[in-house]
Amino acid sequence: MYQLDCGWTKSLVKVILSTITEYHLPKIVPLIGLLYAPQTQAQELSYKGFDFHGSLAQTFAVSDGDNEYLISKSDEGTFQFTEALLNVSKQFTDDFRFGVQGIVRDFGDEDNFKPALDWGYADYRLSNYLGIRAGRVKAPIGFLGEARDVDSSHSSILLNQGLYPEWARTISNSYDGAGIYGSFGNFEMGFLDYHIFYGTKREMPDTFRMQRSLQQLDPSAEIELQEQIGISLIYETPLEGLRLGLTQFQADTFSDLTVINEFTGSRTIYPDEFDYRTKMHTFSGEYNWNKWTFTAEYTQSLPDVDFSQSYTNAFAQSKIPPAQQVYDGTYQAVYQEVYDATYDTVYQAMGGDFNPAAAGEADRIAQETGGAKATEEATKARVAIDMAVQGLQETVSDLASVDISRDSRGWNFGTEYQWNDQLSLILRYGEEALKEKTTDPNFHRKDLSLGARYDFNQYLIGKVEYHRIRGKLGQISGDSYDTNFFLTRLSFSF
């Protein structure tokens, strides 16, 4: 049962005020000035047939306690949630258009204001039933996949993270390839829109979270999308205000690893080590009635991980020192122990004066009495290491052969009330969990959120949002299973 904890609000207010006044007031003042922009019709920015649009969104996020949720340093309060977009498009003929959009984004440790191509593609529509898009095309995931970058198209700051993860926004928002789309139907039967696509190879950004995780094993590791394939169907039903959606999506990922032996420092390349396939099924529904909008989404993700045998061997060798190295070290240690004890005895017997004879005698006795002991101890150590390496190899191989994919499933329900032309109120609840560990809060997330959106004018939108989260799925660090997460955003668009 959810209980709203208000004890943390005082510290939250202090964090917000101190952070704004000390670091980010110069960034926010220009946006506040836009509150008083005249309420006139927005003008189309164009030049010689080219249309220009853009947006700038700045978000502040803070979580209570020591829990870093979704964004690094959210427990301290962070403004590292920024997105700037600029696109240009041209309608060359009634059937052919081209557009491109650049993005500069910061999301905690991701992106870090590195300019990137968000999307850019050519669109040729042969008829209402068939059109072709090619290039870096917006991915049609759920209802908001192709409109996700338009802040005015949705009232929430955080969308359903099981379907639209913010940490993967740069790579999941589009695909490199080609797709066909079209629409069938009539007003009596309803309209069915489809989009079928295929994406080719694409490198991950350097700041991508999965890539940074692999680089902890190998600083030179890189992840590459091999291919993407999917279909999106949206059915506008004859019942006014009701639409249904289905998305089927599959992505293959590949990475080479250079495993570093922690004991010798040597680096060995093992190709074709890591293959990761994700299949995703999403069902969506939306109903608009008077001033109310009701939405529901169900998502199932079916990852499949494959480790090669060479990777398991390399991993085992990197975690346990080589047997010969252990043998040599153990032998030397035992031999030196016997030699030192013998020399000390002879040294004392000769009155404490240095005498080469003492060293020779110590060495002779150590070889006779200590050599066998050193060999015995070193052999035991080597056998133990050989068995440990073999055991770890078998263990990791067993894990690699077992289906260790995280079959995650989640659902999300939301309602929005349009109070007036400017103010909207939002209530949402969702759950996501790994199928086999649904009762373990380490692999589960329950998210109850309240929010509001206010359109100051046609250029500037303000949003506030509070999340009460139970479970550690999505949590970066922290010991508590309960997180209070607060966000506020100002976005400007033209």
Higher pLDDT: 436 or 433? It is 433
> What was the pLDDT predicted at 374?
72
Question: pLDDT digits over 372-422, tens only?
Answer: 777 777 777 767 666 665 665 555 554 444 444 557 788 999 999 999 999
Higher pLDDT: 379 or 269? It is 379
Q: Nearest 5 degrees, angle CA 306-CA 311-CA 312?
A: 90
Question: What's the mean pLDDT in 169-188?
Answer: 90
The pLDDT mean for the chain works out to: 77
Point out the least confidently predicted range of 231-235, 293-297, 418-422, 430-434. 430-434
- Statement: residue 178 has pLDDT above 60: yes
Question: What's the mean pLDDT in 425-445?
Answer: 81
Question: What's the mean pLDDT in 314-333?
Answer: 61
Question: pLDDT digits over 213-265, tens only?
Answer: 555 555 566 667 778 899 999 999 999 999 999 999 888 876 665 554 444 44
CA distance 188 to 199: 35
User: Model-level pTM greater than 0.85?
Assistant: no
Question: pLDDT digits over 58-80, tens only?
Answer: 999 999 877 888 888 888 889 99
Residue keyed to tokens 């999301």: 107
Q: State the distance between the two ends of the chain, measured CA to CA, in whole angstroms.
A: 43
Closest CA to 107 of 138, 70, 81: 81
Point out the least confidently predicted range of 117-131, 152-166, 437-451. 437-451
HEC sequence for the chain:
CCCCCCCCHHHHHHHHHHHHHHHHHHHHHHHHHHHHCCCCCCCCEEECCEEEEEEEEEEEEEECCCCEECCCCHHHCECCEEEEEEEEEEECCCCEEEEEEEEEEEECCECCCCCEEEEEEEEEECCCCCEEEEEEEECCCCCCCCCCCCHHHCCCCCCCCCCCCHHHHHHHCEEEEEEEEEEEEECCCEEEEEEEEEECCEECCCCCHHHHHHCCCCCCCEEEEEEEEEEEEEEECCCCCEEEEEEEEEEEEEEEEEEECCCCCCEEEEEEEEEEEEEEEEEEEEEEECCEEEEEEEEEEEEEEEECHHHHHHHHHHHCCCHHHHHHHHHHHHHHHHHHHHHHHHHHHCCCCCCHHHHHHHHHHHHHHHHHHHHHHHHHHHHHHHHHHHHHHHHHHHHHHCCCCCCEEEEEEEEEEECCCCEEEEEEEEEEEEHHHCCCHHHEEEEEEEEEEEECCCCEEEEEEEEEEECCCCEEECCCCEEEEEEEEEEEEC
Closest CA to 457 of 41, 163, 67: 41
Point out the least confidently predicted range of 93-107, 216-230, 345-359, 426-440. 345-359
CA distance 456 to 152: 12
φ/ψ of residue 213, rounded to 5: -65, -45
pLDDT more than 70, % of the chain: 64
Residue 23 — pLDDT band, cuts 50, 70, 90? very low
Which amino acid appears at position 433 of this protein?
A
CA distance 459 to 35: 9
